[in-house]
Amino acid sequence: MIEIRNTLDVESLRRLDGLRGASLRRIFGVNLDVRLMSEDVSLETDKATVTLWGDVDGLGDWEGFDGQYAVLNIADGIPNIYVASDLRAASTSDENSFFFHAGDRIQDISIVRERVRKDVTGETEWEYTTDSAVVFDLSGGVLAISKTAFDAEMLAVTFADSWEQLTIPPAGAFWFHWNEMGTEFVRSRELMSLDDLLEGLGS
């Protein structure tokens, strides 16, 4: 069986951990629009600014052909992923800024981890594991930043007043139209605490 992992590294998890206790000021992005979708999303807090952005990588040809797979990146500040002038304009302008839950404190952070497994005539051919969303537990609600698909850079921002109202669509649906006789794709997802992930990585 082939096992592929596309998950956040320890440095990214530590950057997220550094936001705990911070007060959210705004979210913004170079291309963040009213649909709250963009390849990049920056969180500005009273402690630091952290940016999440999507990218794609081939990750090898483990499916038997060259594919592309969404990779979630996390960096301090505003990384140089666009033309510098665009970055400066976005970081200082309110045009691409949203102030939902501004003033709320970030109390905890969790990661949504998804797995997709391909079984052929009862035998597992491969299993793909990826982190598909970061969820911030705020003092007055919940904020999620998630991949919109397993094969695209676009991220989606979702706000909710409570965990019960939060909906994060599964990102792995694009495999399932390939189902054919003897082949089954099995998907699962779990919400993992940042503390558990850091402990598991020895941090």
Task: Give me the tens of pLDDT residue by residue for the chain, a chain 203 residues long.
Answer: 889 999 999 999 999 999 999 999 999 988 888 899 999 999 999 999 999 999 888 777 777 667 788 999 999 988 777 655 555 555 555 668 999 999 999 999 999 999 988 888 889 999 999 999 999 999 999 999 999 988 889 999 999 998 889 888 766 655 655 667 788 888 889 999 999 999 887 65
Handedness of CA 113, 97, 74, 202 (dihedral sign): negative
Residues whose CB falls within 8 Å of the CB of residue 89, separated by 6 or more in sequence, listed in order: none
Assess contact for 137 and 108: CB atoms under 8 A: yes
Query: For residue 92, what pLDDT is reported?
Result: 54
Query: For residue 18, what pLDDT is reported?
Result: 96
Query: For residue 134, what pLDDT is reported?
Result: 97
Query: For residue 122, what pLDDT is reported?
Result: 86
Query: For residue 50, what pLDDT is reported?
Result: 95
Query: For residue 36, what pLDDT is reported?
Result: 94
Query: For residue 196, what pLDDT is reported?
Result: 92
Pull the structure tokens for residue 92.
């200082």
Residues whose CB falls within 8 Å of the CB of residue 36, separated by 6 or more in sequence, listed in order: 98, 156, 157, 158, 159
CA distance 36 to 156: 6
Query: For residue 143, what pLDDT is reported?
Result: 96
CA distance 15 to 73: 11
Query: For residue 184, what pLDDT is reported?
Result: 84
Assess contact for 24 and 45: CB atoms under 8 A: yes
Q: Which helix (H) or strand (E) holds 123?
A: strand 123-138
Neighbours of 38 (CB within 10 A): 25
Please state whether 31 falls in left (phi above 0), alpha (psi between -120 and 50) or beta.
alpha
Query: For residue 64, what pLDDT is reported?
Result: 64
